[in-house]
A and B are shown apart, each in its own frame.
Chain A
Amino acid sequence: MAITRKDIEHIAHLARLEVSDAEVPAYADKLDKIIGFIDTLEQAETAGLQPMAHPLQMSQRLREDAVTATDQRDHYQQNAAETTDGLYIVPRVVE
C-alpha cells in the first residue's frame, strides 16, 4: 500500500513531529519502502500463536510501599529549559 500525504501528516501529528510540505515526498518514499518491507509479514502463517510481548517468562516483581526518594528538585531542574518557583514552564495551555 502507498503512504499518502494525509497519512504522513496524521502520523507526524500523533508523534508531534513537524513535517514540512517539502519534506513529505521524501518521508513518503522512505516510509513506503519500510512499510512495503514489513508488509511481508502478512503472508506468514501465525494461527494459534500467542503474541510475544516480552522475551522473559517472568511475572512483575513488586516493591514494598516505602518512600525512598528525597527532594532533589533543584538538581533535577538544572536540565530544564525554563522553570519558575519550582514549576516547569511551558507556553500557555488552554484547557
Chain B
Amino acid sequence: MQWEVVIGLEIHAQLATQSKIFSGASTAYGAAPNTQADLVTLGYPGVLPVLNQDVVVMAAKFGLAVDATVAPRSVFARKNYFYPDLPKGYQISQYELPIVEHGHIDLTLDDGSVKRVGITRAHLEEDAGKSLHENLDGKTGIDLNRAGTPLLEIVSEPDIRSAKEAVNYMRRIHQIVRYLGISDGNMQEGSFRCDANVSVRPRGQEEFGTRTEIKNLNSFRFVEKAINFEIERQIEVLEDGGKIVQETRLYDSDRDETRSMRGKEEANDYRYFPDPDLLPVEISPEFLAAVKSAMPELPQAKADRLIEQYGLKAAEVEVLTASRAMADYFEAVAASADAQLAANWVCGELSGALNKDNVDITDSRVDAAALAQLIQRISDNTISGKIAKEVFAAMWAGEGGADEIIAAKGLKQITDSGAIEAVVDQVIADNPDQVQQFRDGKDKVLGFFVGKVMQATQGKANPGQVNQMLRDKLKS
C-alpha cells in the first residue's frame, strides 16, 4: 500500500527577554539552581503575575512575520496539572484566545516548488522548571530557574508531508525568530525545541490516521530521525494489521528510536479556565503599527533584495541570508568591495573557516572590514585570487590585516613585464618539446607553461599577464 505521511509541529521558542514573563526574575541561562526563582516563580502564597511588555511585542512581531492575525484581544488561561517542576500546580498559557492566529510560511522544496504550511496559532505561555536526578540518593531535585521563562508556542497545521519538510519548516521558523531577534534559537540550551505530531494514512484517504506525539526534539537532526523512525514504525504496525495508539512518545537519540511514555498516559484533564489574576491582553492598532514599523527585514524580502541589488544568484543568497548576522556581514563587505567577490568569499572561504572552527559569524576572526580589504587587493591586482586564499588563512590565524600580511610575506604580485618576460623566456627555452606540441595545435599545453611560470615566481606573477605573454611568444 502507498502511505501518506501527515505531520504537524508544535515549536516552543524561548523569547529573548531579560526577565520572566510574569516577574522580574532573570532569565539568564546557567545560573546556580533556584537563584533565579523569585516569589512569583516559586508560586508563593499571595503573589501575583504581571505581564512583561516585551513578550507581547515579540509575539506580535512573529505574527506579522508569518502573515498572521495578531489578536486585538487575547486571554491567559490556567492549565491545571500536578508536576514537581510546575510550581503553582498550573501553567499560565493561552487557550481559547491566543495572541497569534492564521498565519503561514512558504517553503522552497528541493524541486524548486513552493509549499505553503499553515500556522494555526502561536500563543504565549510560561516554561516549567527542571527535574534533576543525578547524585541525589535516588531522589529528584527541582531547579525552578527556568520556570516562568516566556515561551512562544507555534503550532502548525498538519500540512507537512515528510520528515525532510518538517526540518525545512523548522529551519524556516528558526530563521524567522532569529531574524526578529525574539529568540536566540539555541537548541542545546533548549531555547528552541519541538513536539511532532505524526500519523500516516493510505494515499487518497481523506481522514487522518491516529497520531502520536513525539516530545521534546531539540535538534534538526533528531527531528528528521525521530519522525522517520516513527513513520516506519507506524507503517509496520498498520501493515501487520495492528492499530496505532494515540500516545506521547519520546525519542531516544542513542538508540535512534521512539518510545512510548507509559505512566504519563493517564487521561489528562487540564481544566483550562481564564486566569483570574490576569486581564485580557489588548493590542491596539497603534501598538501594532509601532511594532510593524520596528520590524527588521525578513529572510525572504532580504533574499529578493540581495538578488536585485547585487545581481547575485539564488543559491548564494540562500547561504547569505541564513542568518541576519550573515547577511549583515556580507553587506558590510559589499559596501567597500566588489559584491560578487564578496559573495564568493563569504559563501566560500569564510563559511568554510567558520564551520571548521565552529565559530559564529558574529565572532568571526576576520571581520567584514578586513575581508573587504583583502578583496580590494584582488580587485586592484595586488594579489591573485589564489594568493588571497593564503592571505586569508593567515588573517584567520591572527597574523594581521591583508596589507600587513602581503607585505610581510612578500606576496605582492609581479606586474613588471620585464621581470615576467625573463621568466617566460627561460621556461620556453627549457621546454622545447612542449613548445612544439603547442605549435602543433595542442592548446592545452598552455596550462603547463603557466604552471611553470607561476612555480618559478612563487605564484606572484600576474596570471593574466603571464597568459598573454606566453600566447604571444609561443605563436611567434
Contact = CB atoms under 8 A, between A and B. Distances in A.
Interface string A80-95: 0000111111111111
Contact of B84 (A54, A71, A72, A93): A93
B281 A71 contact: no
A16, A68, A69, A90: most-surrounded residue (chain B CB, <10 A)? A69
B133 A71 contact: no
B131 A93 contact: yes
B32 A56 contact: no
A61 B50 contact: yes
Contact of A89 (B19, B140, B280, B281): B140
Contacts, number: 116
Given A69-B24, A73-B37, A93-B84, A88 B282 contact: no
Given A54-B279, A67-B19, A93 B140 contact: yes
B34 A77 contact: yes
Contacts of B35: 71, 73, 86
A90 B263 CA distance: 18
A92 B281 contact: no
B409 interface: no
Given A59-B279, A62-B56, A73-B35, A95 B131 contact: yes
A53 interface: yes
A67 B142 contact: no
A86 B51 contact: no
A86 B34 contact: yes
B136 A63 contact: no
Nearest to B140: A93
Contacts of B55: 65
Given A54-B276, A73-B37, A87 B82 contact: no
A60 interface: yes
Given A53-B276, A95-B131, A69 B282 contact: no
A84 B136 CA distance: 8
A63 B22 CA distance: 9
A61 B281 CA distance: 8
B280 A76 contact: no
A63 B139 CA distance: 38
B17 interface: yes
Interface in B285-342: none
Interface residues of B, number: 51
B24 A68 contact: yes
Contact of B279 (A14, A56, A88, A90): A56
B56 A85 contact: no
A68 B19 contact: yes
Contacts of B138: 92
B278 A60 contact: yes
B269 A14 contact: yes
B55 to A, nearest CB: 8
A71, A85, A88: most-surrounded residue (chain B CB, <10 A)? A88
Contact of B141 (A60, A73, A88, A94): A88
Contact of A59 (B25, B140, B281): B281
Contacts of A58: 279
A86 B25 contact: no
B32 A86 contact: yes
A60 B75 CA distance: 9
A95 to B, nearest CB: 7
Given A61-B50, A67-B18, A84-B141, A92 B38 contact: no
A64 interface: yes
Interface in B30-56: 32-39, 42, 44, 50-56
A80 to B, nearest CB: 9
Interface of A: 14, 16, 53-54, 56, 58-69, 71-73, 76-77, 84-95
7 contacts: A60-B281, A60-B282, A62-B53, A66-B24, A67-B24, A69-B23, A69-B36
Given A59-B280, A87-B33, A87-B143, 15 more contacts: A53-B75, A53-B274, A62-B51, A62-B53, A63-B50, A65-B19, A65-B55, A66-B24, A67-B19, A69-B36, A69-B38, A76-B37, A86-B33, A89-B140, A90-B141
